[in-house]
Amino acid sequence: MSENKLLVNAVGQPLNRIEGNEKVTGKAKYAAEYYFKDIAYGVLVTSTITKGNIVEIISKAAEKSDGVLAVISHLNAPKVPGYEKNPASALPIFSGKEFKLFQNDEIYFDHQPVAMVIANSLEQARFAASLIKIKYKKTTHQTDIHQNLDEAVTPDKPADYLRGKVDACKNSSVKIEQEYQTSLQVHNPMEPHAATAYWEGDDKLFIFNKTQAVKTTQQQFAQYFKLKPENVQVQAPYVGGAFGSSSRMWPHEMAAVMAAKKVKRPVKVVLERSQVFNLVGYRPYSLQKYTIGATADGLITGIKQEAFGSTSRYEQFIERIMEPTKSMYNCANVQTTYKLIPLDVSTPCPARGPGETSGSFAMESAIDELAYALKMDPLDLRLKNFSDTDLFNNLPWSSNYLLECYHLGAEKFGWQKRNSMPRSMQNGEMLVGMGMSAGIYKAERVPASAGITMFADGKVLIRSSVADTGPGSATILTQIAADALGIDVKSISIKWANSAYPFAPPQFGSHTTASTGSAVHAAALALKEKFAELDNSHPSESLPYLDILKKYGLPELAAITESNPGDENKKYSGKSFCANFVEVEVHPLTCEIRVTRVVSVIDAGKIINHKTAHSQILGSVTWGIGIALMENGVVDHRFGRYVNNNLAEYYVPVNADIPAIDVHFIDKSDEYIDPIGAKGLGEIALIGFTAAVANAVYHATGKRIRQLPITADKLL
Task: Return the bridge partners of 496, or none.
Answer: 464
Q: Which among 461, 463, 450 is positioned nearest to 557, based on CA atoms?
A: 461
Question: Rounded to an integer, what distance in angstroms lies between the CA atom of residue 71 and that of residue 289?
Answer: 49
- Give the single-character DSSP code of 708: S
Contacts 24+ apart (CB under 8 A), 58-61: 58/132, 58/133, 58/134, 58/135, 59/115, 59/131, 59/132, 61/131, 61/132
Q: How many CB atoms lie within 10 A of CB 639?
A: 14
- At residue 378, what is the residue type? P
- At residue 342, what is the residue type? P
Question: Rounded to an integer, what distance in angstroms lies between the CA atom of residue 196 and that of residue 66?
Answer: 22
- Give the single-character DSSP code of 697: H
SS3 breakdown of the chain: % helix, strand, coil, rounded to 5? 30, 25, 40
Question: Rounded to an integer, what distance in angstroms lies between the CA atom of residue 459 and that of residue 490?
Answer: 9
Q: Which among 431, 474, 498, 425 is positioned nearest to 213, based on CA atoms?
A: 498
Q: What distance, in Å, lies between the first and last C-alpha atoms of the chain?
A: 71
Q: Residues 319, 356, 444, 683: which is the catalytic one?
A: 683
The verdict on whether omega for the bond into residue 709 sits within 30 degrees of 0, i.e. cis, is yes
Question: Rounded to an integer, what distance in angstroms lies between the CA atom of residue 215 and that of residue 236?
Answer: 10
Tell me which H or E stretch contains 624: helix 610-629
Would you say 539 and 532 are in contact if contact means Cβ atoms under 8 Å apart?
A: yes
Q: Which among 556, 89, 618, 38 is positioned nearest to 318, based on CA atoms?
A: 89
SS3 66: coil
User: Is 683 labeled as catalytic in the residue annotation?
Assistant: yes
Annotated catalytic residues are: 683
